Amino acid sequence: MKGDRSEGQPRLAVVLTNYNGRQLLEEMLPSLERQSFRDFSTVVVDDCSTDDSVAYLRLHWPLVDVIELPVNGGVTKAMNVAIGVAQSELVGLFNNDMELAPECLAELVSAIDGDPAAGSATPKMLDFADRQRIDGAGDVLNWRGGGRRRGHGELDGGQYDRPGEVFGPCGGAALYRRAALDVVGGFDEAYFAYYEDIDWAFRAQLAGFRCRYVPSAVLYHHGSATLGRGITDFNGYQLWRNPVWLMVKCFPAGVLLRHAPELLRGQLGNLYVAVREHKLRVWARALRDALRGLPAAARKRREVQRTRVITLAQLEEVARVGQP
């Protein structure tokens, strides 16, 4: 499936990451066909699916470009392949478990065009099954060492209908400016899954690229359709290991000092959840591996902090968006 431009490269490449998502693609791809904005191509990066996703795409969506990965290297690696194959001016990166409202792409493109300092734009995400409930209104940073989807789980009463700046986009539903990707780089594959998007957003903010929240760009998200819900051994490990690397790599020294008590509370909170969910061994393994990865994170930190062009006060200001 491609947009209406008959010659030359489309302005936007919409790239979907997929793992065993045949049924999800049956909902997502028709919603792309209904977009009012037409100057785009569509690519599916298939992360070594074992279902018939690829056969389905070849048969029913012959105009969709399919990139088949030979091994499952994790969500973050698939995302990097996705942005690597798309050399267009704009890159839309979406999970497969979504349905886009017809004006979604048009509104995202318009928003990023209207702010030359924006490196990314993110839509208003509603729950697929309960469309009166917010799934996410942009990602916000917390000083306990992580991030969260703003408004997640809240009833939609219009409280997130004002466009503006947020800390970053959800990595599963975002429009990126190629120029920003060239400066900031791709996603850190050390994370494997989870926190790769808040890490990218942090690096982008330090480098001076803003993120626009666009409430007029609406999509509906199944949520955890691939990785599952709740605390499992897999996601618990990622959620407890990865924030340690995020803090070491991205938090400027002044921020680490100022927010040290909150960072400590965040780590203690993780331990509490691990005990409550009977996942203490998973937590211990995550912490062990986080400590083993500190030298690599420290090396990356030097490069990340060299790119910082904003002040600590400016970083604090954008981090306050969406905070209670």
The pLDDT of residue 229: 59
For 73, 150, 235, 272, 309, the CA distances from 185, given in Å and listed in that order, are 19, 25, 25, 35, 16
Copy the structure tokens of residue 275.
Answer: 């005990």
Q: DSSP secondary-structure letter at 2? A: B
Identify the band that residue 6 occupies on the pLDDT scale cut at 50, 70 and 90.
very low
* pLDDT, tens digit, 9 for 90 and up, residues 158-206: 999 999 999 999 989 999 999 999 999 999 999 988 899 999 999 999 9
Distance CA 192, CA 281 (A): 20
* pLDDT, tens digit, 9 for 90 and up, residues 230-248: 799 999 999 999 999 999 9
Report the SS3 class of residue 254: helix
Structure-model confidence comparison of residues 215 and 146, the more confident one: 215
- Close Cβ partners of 96 (under 8 Å, ≥ 6 residues apart): 16, 17, 18, 19, 21, 24, 25, 28, 44, 225, 226
What is the DSSP secondary-structure string of 174-238? EEEEHHHHHHH-S--GGG-SSSHHHHHHHHHHHTT-EEEEEEEEEEEE--STTT-SS--HHHHHH
Report the SS3 class of residue 155: strand
**Domain positions in the chain:** 12-221, 233-319
Per-residue b/e over 183-207, b at no fewer than 16 CB within 10 Å?
Answer: ebbbbbebbbbbbbbbbbbbbbbbb
Copy the structure tokens of residue 9.
Answer: 């490269």
Identify the band that residue 227 occupies on the pLDDT scale cut at 50, 70 and 90.
very low
The class (CATH top level) of 12-221 is alpha beta
The mean of the pLDDT values for the chain is: 93
Distance CA 44, CA 27 (A): 14
pTM for this predicted structure: 0.92
Q: DSSP secondary-structure letter at 146? A: E
* pLDDT, tens digit, 9 for 90 and up, residues 271-316: 999 999 999 999 999 999 999 999 999 999 999 999 999 999 999 9
Distance CA 149, CA 122 (A): 11
What is the DSSP secondary-structure string of 13-73? EEEEEESS-HHHHHHHHHHHHT-S---EEEEEEE-S-SSSHHHHHHHH-TTSEEEE-SS--
Q: DSSP secondary-structure letter at 306? A: H
